[in-house]
Structure 1
Amino acid sequence: MSTASRLPGIVTTDHVFRVPLDHQRPDGEQIEVYAREVVASARENDALPWLLFLQGGPGGKAARPVGPDSWLARALDDHRVLLLDQRGTGRSTPANRQTLARRGGPQEQAEYLAHFRADSIVRDAELIRRALLGEQGRWSLLGQSFGGFCTLTYLSLAPEGVREAYVTGGLAGLSSSADDVYRAAYPRVARKNAAHYGRYPQDVEAVRQIAAHLAEQPATLPDGGLLTLRAFQALGLLLGSGSGSHQLHYLLEEAWVEGADGPELSDTFLAGVQAQLSFAQGPLYAVLHESIYGQRSVDPAGTAWAAERVRKEFPEFDAEAALDSDAPVLFTGEMIYPWMFETDPALRPLRETANLLAERADWPDLYDRERLAANDVPVFAAVYHDDMYVDTADSLDTAHAVGNVRYWVTNEWEHDGLRVSGRVVLDRLMRMGRGEI
């Protein structure tokens, strides 16, 4: 039963769909997938084309709108929008340490989560499309980041359901292994560190002081998590967003207080760090992260903690060595490491499950390169120059390998340009689609 809500400027309607856990076994176990329909209040009864929003991630739930804000305002000019909580997230059947414990041990949990990649998300979307639009109905796609990866999978599996696609910061490398991804990523992250320290030179010493303290004495976070030196470095995830460098700087500014026994890390700092590092609200991001690159034609042996292995090729990220010299301590980026399943209470119960997924070989391919080469669905993509999360070279290679793609390269925005630019990024892509640019 659908439930409608009226918010300033928009009307939202809840939808819940039953879908197979394994689409190869449609009569097997079923799970729920939730989606929120959004339409402008003034156009509630209009016959508008649908736009499916595919959220970044993996493991990210769709935005919770409070009105026609940001990119949504532009989308609602022309569309009825569906915000999908991809399987395992948000109001869809959840997958986290609490719910997965009911499925049995790590092996059973890993087998279950193997059905939570882009191919399953796309097949969910196809069932939903047919339920809402009918067998012959087509909708537009908007894929942000990982949602762009899902868009490429959609065009590989079911292009007949798509009218047009918009991709922001999400043209994945079709033939890039997990090792390739991280081998390209570490130098980009190093450049983001250099930009941050150029902007805030005082942070070089501030970070070294915190790092030296944590090397001797890891701190306990409010949720019981452990802030080690390596965990502190993981705050570099912030450096890939438009305001992330500033957020990091202001967090560092309040790192210390004078306690009863001398200087100590402040509660304010530790709470702020926890807010950035905890995976309690999105554990699938950590558990499934490297699996989004797994394809049997590219990585036949599996991903095997690629970010951890490849890191050894970039000694500049060795914080202990930096402390022994006068080099700046570098933050890492969008990397998931096995030790995170020891320091984060939300991930600890999933450690063996994550190991099994990292060891899993023979992941099915996510992209049909021949079908994509012959693609006739119009695709309009924003490629962010030196995007910390998605390699620009990979994105351009994919733009050239997929048929009917037009792209716009910009360094005006970082990876979160769709969200922070208001209407600008999506409007430009839509004007490209109308032939105005």
Structure 2
Amino acid sequence: MRVSYRQPGVVLTDRRFTVPLDHDDPAGETIELYAREVVASDKAHQDLPWLVHLTGGPGFGAARFIGRQSWLDRALREYRVLLLDQRGTGASTPANRQTLPLRGGPATQAEYLTHFRADSIVRDCEAIRPEVTGGAPWTVHGQSFGGFCAVTYLSLAPEGLDTALITGGLPALDAHADDVYRAAYPRMERKTAAHYARYPQDVERARRIADHLLTHDVTLPGGYRLTAEAFQSLGILLGGGEGSHRLHYLLEDAFVRTPYGAQLSDAFQEQVQGLLSYAGHPLYALVHEAIYGQGERPTDWAAERVRAEFPQFDAARALASGEPLLFTGEAVQRWMFDCDPALRPLRETAELLAARTGWRPLYDPARLAVNEVPAAAAVYHDDLFVDTAHSLRTARAIRGLRTWVTDEYEHDGVRTDGPRVLDRLLALARDEV
């Protein structure tokens, strides 16, 4: 039974769908998808076109908006919107340390998780689209990893799309995960340098915290083991528009005087626990590198291996040489499955996914080269999460795709200035600008 309810300016309806776990075996096991339908209150009874939103990740459910926040306000002027919790996330059938053991051991869990990539998400969309739209094509809006899914959609089922709108999510079509991280670490270094240029006092603060973590065993209140490497991974904040400021405020109150000398404050530790824990989105860690898997070559902990090619990221080396500590971000590494209690039970499962070969192709360059779906993408200059050069190369490979390359925003531009960003992309897709 569908349940509808109201928030300021909108009518919401909970939608649930049953889809095959493996779309190649439609008679086999099924999972449940949850989605939230949103329509403007004054248009609730109108026959409107549909927009399906695929959020970033992998591993995150759709945003829980209140009313007409962010880009949703612009979309609701002309669309009925479906906010889909991609398989394994949000209120869809969950996949985490509590539920995965129901399937059996690590090998069975790893095989199950091979069905949680962009190709399966696109086939989910096509499975539910007839029920949602009556069979009509819909517009897809893909943010970050959702943009990767949108490019897969254009490859696998363009007939299901009226328009494709992508924000910060044009993937490399043929890059291995190693290539992704060889491009990523220099960006992380640039983002760190920009942060220290804005907040030079943070150079010494970060070095002091790293030194403390190299000489003390610190376990956060929720059980997360905070190491110097884990501290460095807070650089993921630098990929957002407000991230540098958030990192600065986090660092400035890190220590407190105690009878036993200076210690990391409870307030600092509590904030760091919330930022680093994968308890709410374990799929991000489990399948993060798998989203780049195509062909026989395993991903094999690419971020960790490639990091060794950039010795300037070694915390002990930086402290010994008097250099600034470099932050990292958008990189899942093996040690996270030791540090994070939400991931520890899944360590062997993650190892099996990292070693897996035989990944299916996610993109079809030949089909993209003859694309007829109106498409537009916002490419954020020097995006921490998605390499700009990779994105532009892909943009050139998709026939008719129009790009808006801008340095006005970081990766979260559609969140911070959503109506303007979405309006611009719609105008580009419609050839109005």
Give the TM-score normalised by the residue count of structure 2: 0.99
Describe the superposition over 1:330-353 as per-residue Cα deviations: whole angstroms up to 9, x where unpaired: 011100000000000000000000
Q: How does 1:90-109 map to 2 (within 5 A)?
A: 90-109=90-109
SS in structure 2 at match of 1:377: coil
Describe the superposition over 1:44-97 as per-residue Cα deviations: whole angstroms up to 9, x where unpaired: 001110000011000110011110011000000010000000000000000000
Q: Residue 241 in 1 paired to residue 237 in 2? A: no
Q: Which residue of 1 aligns with 2:303?
A: 307
SS in structure 2 at match of 1:380: strand
Quote the offset at 1:118 in angstroms: 0.5
Q: Which residue of 2 aligns with 1:333?
A: 329
Distance 1:265 1:166 in 2: 44
Distance 1:407 1:338 in 2: 36
Distance 1:211 1:380 in 2: 42
Distance 2:390 2:363 in 1: 14
Give the TM-score normalised by the residue count of structure 1: 0.98
Q: Which residue of 2 aligns with 1:292?
A: 291
Structure 2 counterpart of 1:176, one-letter code: A
Quote the offset at 1:262 in angstroms: 1.5
Paired residues of 2:374 and 2:430 also in contact (CA < 8 A): no
Distance 1:28 1:236 in 2: 42
Structure 2 counterpart of 1:65, one-letter code: F
Quote the offset at 1:134 in angstroms: 2.5
Describe the superposition over 1:274-300 as per-residue Cα deviations: whole angstroms up to 9, x where unpaired: 11100000000000000000001xxx2
Q: Residue 412 in 1 paired to residue 412 in 2? A: no
Quote the offset at 1:433 in angstroms: 2.6
Q: How does 1:201-220 map to 2 (within 5 A)?
A: 201-220=200-219
Distance 1:191 1:65 in 2: 33
SS in structure 2 at match of 1:365: coil
Distance 1:167 1:376 in 2: 16
Q: How does 1:35-434 map to 2 (within 5 A)?
A: 35-135=35-135, 137-296=136-295, 300-434=296-430
Distance 1:417 1:133 in 2: 29
Q: Residue 6 in 1 paired to residue 16 in 2? A: no
SS in structure 1 at match of 2:98: helix
Identity rate, percent: 63
Distance 2:201 2:133 in 1: 56
Paired residues of 1:62 and 1:84 also in contact (CA < 8 A): yes
Structure 1 counterpart of 2:168, one-letter code: G
Q: How many residues align?
A: 433
SS in structure 2 at match of 1:77: coil
Distance 2:123 2:287 in 1: 18
Distance 2:239 2:386 in 1: 10
Describe the superposition over 1:382-436 as per-residue Cα deviations: whole angstroms up to 9, x where unpaired: 0000001000001000000011100010000000000011411111111223333
SS in structure 1 at match of 2:99: helix
Structure 2 counterpart of 1:197, one-letter code: Y
Calculate the aligned-residue CA RMSD, in Å: 0.7
SS in structure 2 at match of 1:414: coil
Distance 1:259 1:219 in 2: 15
Quote the offset at 1:130 in angstroms: 1.2
Distance 1:138 1:423 in 2: 23
Distance 1:360 1:122 in 2: 22
Describe the superposition over 1:126-159 as per-residue Cα deviations: whole angstroms up to 9, x where unpaired: 0110111223x11001000000000011111110
Distance 1:404 1:84 in 2: 27
Paired residues of 2:137 and 2:161 also in contact (CA < 8 A): yes
Distance 2:428 2:137 in 1: 20
Distance 2:299 2:381 in 1: 26
Q: 1:376 to 1:422 in 2, by over 3 A?
A: closer
Paired residues of 2:21 and 2:30 also in contact (CA < 8 A): yes
Describe the superposition over 1:167-226 as per-residue Cα deviations: whole angstroms up to 9, x where unpaired: 000000001110000000000110000000000000000000000000011311111110
Distance 1:252 1:79 in 2: 43
Distance 1:101 1:108 in 2: 9
Distance 1:59 1:147 in 2: 11
Structure 1 counterpart of 2:139, one-letter code: S
Structure 1 counterpart of 2:190, one-letter code: R
**Displaced runs of 4+ in structure 1, greater than 3 A?**
none
Paired residues of 2:97 and 2:346 also in contact (CA < 8 A): yes
Distance 1:363 1:317 in 2: 31
Distance 2:189 2:322 in 1: 16
Distance 1:336 1:86 in 2: 20
Distance 2:219 2:285 in 1: 21
Distance 1:302 1:130 in 2: 36
Paired residues of 1:218 and 1:229 also in contact (CA < 8 A): no
Quote the offset at 1:312 in angstroms: 0.8
Quote the offset at 1:5 in angstroms: 1.1
**Runs of 5+ in structure 2 lacking a partner?**
none
Paired residues of 2:337 and 2:343 also in contact (CA < 8 A): yes
Quote the offset at 1:302 in angstroms: 1.1
Q: 1:422 to 1:133 in 2, by over 3 A?
A: closer
Paired residues of 2:206 and 2:325 also in contact (CA < 8 A): yes
SS in structure 2 at match of 1:13: strand
